[in-house]
Structure formats: structure tokens, C-alpha cells
Structure 1
């Protein structure tokens, strides 16, 4: 049995592993530090409030159904389903944020080392179209004098004649 005056053998200073104490170990609270930002705390609180509220409303509907309100049996089933949906959405958002955090933590690959990959064909059967940013097109005025188009001028003359002769039929047009 050690006595209070006995000292533990000391380790040499060079063999001390500081990386294991500073790096985030997967599965620990330190690795999940990004879940404790103000935005995530608000999400956690909202999830807990909604789940407790929905389960409370389900319990209330069970008590109403037991008192003879048969419609409340349906609501008694619905409210816990809503609570489960809230938990599912919260869990999915945590997973998505964790994936994004892991992807951002990985160093960017050197483009020279990456193998060249041919782009996939534009249209493949059963493939979903890629969603891309909208393209802004600058409007450039058409070079030329308005009225150069003879077909357009003839059509405009026809429309003005129809406007001037409201009872006329299109076959009555003299032009």
C-alpha cells in the first residue's frame, strides 16, 4: 500500500503525448463542439420543446378519448407521430451538419494530382437534371433600324386595320 509521501515515477518530458489531449476524439463531446453554437442550442431547445409539447398533446387526447370522445383516438395517434417527425428532422440535420463539417476539415486536394474525369453525358435515362445557378443574360439592343422587317411591318398594318374596322372579318382585309 502506498504511503502519502510516496511519489509516482515521472515520465521523461519528451515522451509526453500532447496531441491526444488537444485533438478531438471521435465520439466525445469535444468532437461535437460545433453542436453547441447559439444557433444549434436554439435548434436543440426547439426540438425538445416541440417533442415534449406534442407528446403532452397526445396524452391530453388519450385522456379525452378515454372520457368518451372517439375522435380523439385519431389525434392521440397523430401527436406522437409528429413528435417522431421532429426528432427525425433534428437527427437528419445533425448528420448533415456533421458531414459538412468533416468535408470542410479535409484538406483540399491538389488539382494536379487529381485524375482527369470525363463529364457525364448531358442526358442519361432516369437521371435527375443537375440544378445549377441561373444565368444572367445581358440584353443587347438589336442593331438595325426598327421596321427593317417587312413581315413585321405587314403584320402590324394588318392589326391596325383590324383595330380600325371592328366588325370586319380577317378575309375582308384589302392587303
Structure 2
């Protein structure tokens, strides 16, 4: 529960309380306006509590996500055991990289980008339309201020 009492989370809690009370107050204000004869205020009287409910929903979802994120440290031998150095960690991948899902489970964070090898299909010389279109594109690139109708080909 200490994760929910960091300065960032305290700001989120305060923002949630302020937004919910403000939205409910605005809803009550619209009910009083609607009772005074402003018919369009009935729609707003329903809308503001829905906004307040959405704020509570997002706040609750973020709380659950934070509490599920990283498990708190357990007391016992696991705390007193020294952490192994990175060089002595077992390598899991064929390229010598460390296994992303180690003994501690999956680690949150960024992974390496996926590299995809590009395979050349061909130069396209056998397709006359493709050659003409590529010539047109190269002409447009060479003449940036020209309009497509100015193409001499």
C-alpha cells in the first residue's frame, strides 16, 4: 500500500476527489437550473454524474494496475541474499542476451525493437507501368514546386 502514497499518487487522489466533487456539484447545479425551467439542463444534469463515474473508474483501474505491478519485497532469506552481478547472470537467448522472463517472472519495461530483414523482390523492369510511374515520381521529386499537370511525359 505504500506505492499508493507517493507524491504522484497523492496528487492523483486529490485530483480524483476534486474532480468528482466538482462534477457532482455541477450536476446538482444543472438539476436546480432544470427545475427552474431550463429544459436543456436535464441532459447536463445526467451528463455530469457520468463524468464523475468515469473519473472514479479510471482512478480505480490505475490503483489496481499499480497494486498488481511489482510485488512488495518479502521478509526473510530473500532480502538478505546478495543480488548476483549482471555478468554472472545466466544467458537465455542464443545471442547471449539475458532471458526476459527470468526467475523473478516477466520484467516490465521496454524490449529491443524487432528487426525484419527486407528481401528484394526485383527491380520491376518488366512492368512498363511501374517504370513510367517511378519516372513520374522522380520528376516530381526533382521539381518540388511543379504541379502534376506540368509533367512533360
Q: What's 1:36 paired with? A: 5
Q: Could you list the runs of 4 or more consecutive aligned residues of structure 1 that deviate by over 2 angstroms after TM superposition?
A: 104-107, 132-139, 149-152
Structure 1, unpaired ranges of 5+: 1-31, 112-131, 143-148, 168-175
Q: What's 2:37 paired with? A: 68
Tell me, in whole angstroms, the C-alpha distance in 2 between the residues paired with 1:88 and 1:39: 18
Which of 8, 13, 20 aligns to 1:51? It is 20
Structure 1 residue 88: deviation in Å?
1.0
Aligned length: 99
Structure 2, unpaired ranges of 5+: 79-89, 91-110, 140-151
Q: What's 2:114 paired with? A: 135
Tell me, in whole angstroms, the C-alpha distance in 2 between the residues paired with 1:84 and 1:138: 48
Aligned counterparts, 1:93-104, within 5 A: 93-102=62-71
Q: What's 1:85 paired with? A: 54
Q: What's 2:93 paired with? A: none
Tell me, in whole angstroms, the C-alpha distance in 2 between the residues paired with 1:150 and 1:33: 63
Q: Give me the TM-score of the superposition, normalised by structure 1.
A: 0.45
Over alpha carbons, which structure has the higher Rg?
A: 1
Q: Give me the TM-score of the superposition, normalised by structure 2.
A: 0.51
Tell me, in whole angstroms, the C-alpha distance in 1 between the residues paired with 2:66 and 2:28: 33
Tell me, in whole angstroms, the C-alpha distance in 1 between the residues paired with 2:46 and 2:125: 69
For the aligned residue pairs, the C-alpha RMSD in angstroms reads 3.8
Aligned counterparts, 1:149-168, within 5 A: 151=125, 155=131
Aligned residues of 2:19 and 2:55 also touching (Cα < 8 A): yes
Assess, with a 3 A threshold, how the Cα gap between structure 1 residues 138 and 74 changes in structure 2: closer, same or farther. same
Aligned residues of 2:16 and 2:56 also touching (Cα < 8 A): yes
